[in-house]
Amino acid sequence: MAIVFSEQKKRQQYLILVFTIVILATAIVFWFGVFKKPIETPPSSSLPIRKIEINFQVFDQSLLSELELFEEVPAFEGVLGRNNPFLPYLLQEEPIK
């Protein structure tokens, strides 16, 4: 019987230790997360707005005039897919025409 009581006492001590650690961790989280005053950030200094100048003469260069346009892509001709793409294939309906 003495062994059973000592094992039970050890288990109770471990549970008390774990409970104490959980309480301390909770208190630390609340202390640093809730009750501590937020650090005030210094006001940002506003820089003067600079005027942006765009050089449109870049578009007149000969390299840009040598570029070719893409070919037109023809419209898709064929079966587009299913009426409801979220249905499983076993329950699918006729494809869209």
Least confident interval from 4-13, 36-45, 87-96: 87-96
Confidence (pTM): 0.36
Give residue 68's identity as a one-letter amino acid code. Answer: E
The domain ranges of the chain are 1-36
pLDDT digits (tens, 9 = 90+) for 18-42: 999 999 999 998 888 877 777 787 7
pLDDT at 32: 84
pLDDT digits (tens, 9 = 90+) for 61-80: 888 888 888 999 898 888 87
| Residue 23 DSSP label | H
Distance of alpha carbon 12 from alpha carbon 6, whole angstroms: 10
Share of the chain above pLDDT 70, in %: 89
